[in-house]
Homo-oligomer: A and B are copies of this chain.
Amino acid sequence: MPAETTDLAQALRDAGLRVTHQRLSLLSLLMDASDHPNADELLARARAEDDSVSLATVYRTLAILEEAGLIRKLTLENEPARFESMPLAEHDHLVDIDSGEVVEIASEEINRIRKDLVEGLGYEIVSHTTLIRARKLR
């Protein structure tokens, strides 16, 4: 059994979740994905790989994995949500409005400023999402 599989199964157990084909499949798909797939795309990939998975389970599993802090949901405008495995470093997302491609943007300085700003207002950040719609310069 490959180490990675074991790790993912352990990650699920650590989160107090049962280890099922479907969960391992979706989690590993997201760990390996270099793009940001939506639920339909994940369903297609999961089915291509091996198992029978239903769309309902994809949604249920994604919600559970997000709850467990293993993945992250990106709520976009006018299109279904996309998902990514939980990033080690916080980053924002840039959507190329012509190609639809999503680019990740690191922003340690912004994160710090934002945190100070929010705390100055008497809040603590639970999570944040920045979505930048941009066009490639030529």
By a CB distance below 8 angstroms, the chain B residues around A88 are none
CA distance A53 to B50 in the complex (A): 51
By a CB distance below 8 angstroms, the chain B residues around A60 are none
Query: Per DSSP, are chain A's interface residues mostly helix, strand or loop, or mixed?
Result: strand
In chain A, positions 87-138 with a C-beta closer than 8 Å to chain B are 92, 94, 96-97, 103, 105, 107, 109-110, 113-114, 117-119, 121-137
Number of interface residues of A (CB under 8 A): 36
Chain-B contact segment, one of A4-12, A22-30, A36-44, A73-81: A73-81
In chain A, positions 22-68 with a C-beta closer than 8 Å to chain B are none
CA distance A107 to B128 in the complex (A): 15
Is A114 a contact of B125 with CB atoms below 8 Å? no
